[in-house]
């Protein structure tokens, strides 16, 4: 890819980053009674009174079941990082949102680094452009929510495990262990990564015939989980409180807790609700992703990287789509990376019969068109309409598909 193309892509990527920052809402545009309010309360409390406050917050969560449908204070990883950030910059919604922006920026740089390593500049630049302009990524990068932080560490774990499978570097495996452990501390649903890593390990060993020792599978399954249990038990104040915490979190999805009006209205739905919301947020990229998945399945043109990310998407999607209150598209933000990567690969497959220079030019032009579509949707939904939580109802209303009361 020529320096001119790289410069143009770089300018548009910087434009996206700046757009997220300047559209961070003012202090009075956040929701105290929603997730943002809980995260600010938790992290502000830790910032002002220290980490020993985790035990008091967790005890309160366990004692009052009506709090179980809101973010639990057991998300120690995110709350601790946010508390450090707020300790430096001050406790406010705006500063908590700026922490989300910082994580969004690091995630874009992380994906650019690894995509250039495993593919080429011809893939890395359009992929990074689509990722940085993703309406979901940009929206979460300007809110006082944990999704951008979760996405950063989840992405680090996924990329470094792929690096380990391809290169057998122990350093990558150790980074993956640490990132996976911390991602579990950020959000409990990150335990699904362990399921994916086990499947990816078996696929690499048996389908792609890579001779990886079984000790690495045991390591990725047990080290992050055991380290997380140790941290949770310490901050809970004992094994009994830890078990009570786990029951409270699991009760949200398996019917042993009270149901909130918000969860009933916006958190439930069929398995395909995620696809519907992705089509509302990024229609062109989502259609390219679906087309590329179908193409790979029919043609059976599997390589290690394509199979890895294909497996990642469908394992996480399959599990989350069968839980009770998880049908909110921001909970699936970690899979937006796969959608945008496969969109770029789909463009190269669509134009693979042309010579290389023409192929670059067409993919370059197509990526810019997708960027404009993405940015228009971000501006319409999250700047003009100022949507806080991109649930199906609000997306449909903002697109004027259903009437807004």
Angle between helices 283-299 and 336-350 (to 10 degrees): 70
- Rounded-to-integer distance, Cα 101 and Cα 243, Å: 34
Residue 37's closest CA among 110, 92, 112, 89? 92
* Burial class, 239, CB count within 10 angstroms (exposed 0-12 / middle 13-18 / buried 19+): exposed
Cα 269 to the chain's mean position, in Å? 20
The pTM score is: 0.95
Tens digit of each residue's pLDDT (9 = 90 or more) over 46-105: 999 999 999 999 999 998 887 777 899 999 999 999 999 999 999 999 999 999 999 999
What is the pLDDT at residue 248? 84
* Highest averaged pLDDT of the listed ranges 3-12, 222-231, 346-355: 222-231
* Residue, of 306 and 360, whose pLDDT is higher: 306
Q: Whole-angstrom distance between the N-terminal and C-terminal Cα of the chain?
A: 50
DSSP 26: P
Residue 256's pLDDT band (boundaries 50, 70, 90)?
A: very low
């Amino acid at each position: 890819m020529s320096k001119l193309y790289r410069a143009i892509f770089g300018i548009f990527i910087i434009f996206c980053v700046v757009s997220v920052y300047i559209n961070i809402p003012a202090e009075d545009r956040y929701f105290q009674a929603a997730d943002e309010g809980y995260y600010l309360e938790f992290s502000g409390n830790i910032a002002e009174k220290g980490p020993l406050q985790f035990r008091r917050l967790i005890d309160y969560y366990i004692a009052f079941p009506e709090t179980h449908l809101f973010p639990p204070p057991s998300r120690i990883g995110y709350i601790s990082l946010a508390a450090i950030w707020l300790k430096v910059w001050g406790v406010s919604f705006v500063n908590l949102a700026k922490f989300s922006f910082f994580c969004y920026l690091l995630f874009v740089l992380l994906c650019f680094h690894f995509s250039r390593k495993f593919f080429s500049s011809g893939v890395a630049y359009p992929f990074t452009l689509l990722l940085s302009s993703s309406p979901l990524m940009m929206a979460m990068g300007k809110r006082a929510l944990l999704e951008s932080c979760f996405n950063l560490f989840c992405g680090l774990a996924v990329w470094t495990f792929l690096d380990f499978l391809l290169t057998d570097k122990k350093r990558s495996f150790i980074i993956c262990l640490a990132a996976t452990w911390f991602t579990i501390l950020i959000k409990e649903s990150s335990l699904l990564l362990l399921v994916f890593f086990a499947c990816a390990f078996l696929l690499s060993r048996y389908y792609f015939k890579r001779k990886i020792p079984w000790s690495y599978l045991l390591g990725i399954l047990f080290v992050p989980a055991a380290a997380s249990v140790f941290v949770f038990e310490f901050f809970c104040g004992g094994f009994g409180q830890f078990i009570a915490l786990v029951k409270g979190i699991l009760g949200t999805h398996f019917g042993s807790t009270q149901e909130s009006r918000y969860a009933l209205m916006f958190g439930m739905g069929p398995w395909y609700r995620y696809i519907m919301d992705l089509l509302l947020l990024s229609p062109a990229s989502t259609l390219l992703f679906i087309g590329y998945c179908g193409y790979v399945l029919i043609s059976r043109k599997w390589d290690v990287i394509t199979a890895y990310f294909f497996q990642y998407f469908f394992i996480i999607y399959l599990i989350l789509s069968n839980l009770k209150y998880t049908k909110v598209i921001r909970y699936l933000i970690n899979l937006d990376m796969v959608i945008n990567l496969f969109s770029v690969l789909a463009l190269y497959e669509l134009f693979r019969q042309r010579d290389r220079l023409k192929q670059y030019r067409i993919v370059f032009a197509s990526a810019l068109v997708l960027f404009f579509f993405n940015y228009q949707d971000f501006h319409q939904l999250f700047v003009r309409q100022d949507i806080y939580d991109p649930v199906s109802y609000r997306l449909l209303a903002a697109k004027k598909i259903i009437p807004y009361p």
